[in-house]
Amino acid sequence: MGLSSENCSPFDVFDSDEFPKYFSGLSTLLVATIQELKDRISQIEFIFCSQLFPNFQTELSKYRSLKERLCQAKKDAEADWKQKEDSLLLLIEDLRREKQEALDQIPQIQASFEQDKAVLVENFKAEKEKLLQVHEAEKNHLLSQAKGLQMNLDAAGFRELQQKVEEVDGGKEVQKKLQQQIKEEEEELKCRELNLNSIQSKLLNEQRTAELVLRKFKRLKKMYFNLRYQYEILISRSGFVAESELPCQEMEDEFGFLSNPTNSP
């Protein structure tokens, strides 16, 4: 059903079947009118700016040139920062590897030392027991011979007894030598204990070195955040809005990982 301006009011169009078509045409006309107004306003603004700012194009060119230089400076700064970041990551990786190697060597050195110490103690005990048994057997043999000679105290027997007594004295000399040898073995054991203390001191030095490396790492971490803070201040002062942040998340993850040495393998 068509619309008639003579038989219906303007509000009857909302109840008509041609309302979508009417509304579409009205919207198109409204959009065209708004666009025409925008174009005229833009022309007026351009004419006004040209009269008010005669050097506007020159300043705009300078601004674009400055923007390009700032973009290039940003790219150069990002490249330089990336190079420094890679160097820091390599240094951190080397320090972590050296620390891990030192930590891996400590149990091996301790196990080797304990094994050598146990073998040495067992050998010393066995040698000492063997020497005592030999000395005791010789002593018992000489005592049994002396007791047998006491039954015949003639001159020849007396001389033989004296000879046996001298042999007993010789046995005492042997005992003294054995005691001296035992003493030397004990001194050797003390030397080995001193070597153990030296190894433990070296292990302590390795631990101190690892702590020094950790302190160096913390200083590097502090330097990293200071450099990043200075870079952000430089960007903010230049008046240039960065389109993207520097790729610092990986670096911060690495710092977070290394700040906990207990998490190291």
Q: What is the pLDDT of residue 52?
A: 65
Look up the pTM and report it: 0.28
Q: How far apart are CA 240 and CA 234, in angstroms?
A: 9
- pLDDT higher for 247 or 122? 122
236 sits in the region (left: phi over 0; alpha: psi -120 to 50; else beta) called alpha
If residue 153 lies in a helix (H) or strand (E), which one and from where to where? none
Residues 88-97 have pLDDT tens digits of: 889 888 888 8
Angle at 77 between CA 76 and CA 83, to 5 degrees: 90
| Average pLDDT of the residues of the chain | 75
Q: How far apart are CA 95 and CA 213, in angstroms?
A: 7
Q: What is the pLDDT of residue 199?
A: 84
Mean pLDDT within 183-210: 84
Residues 227-257 have pLDDT tens digits of: 888 888 887 877 654 444 444 545 555 555 4
Q: What is the pLDDT of residue 229?
A: 83
Q: Is the pLDDT of residue 33 over 70?
A: yes
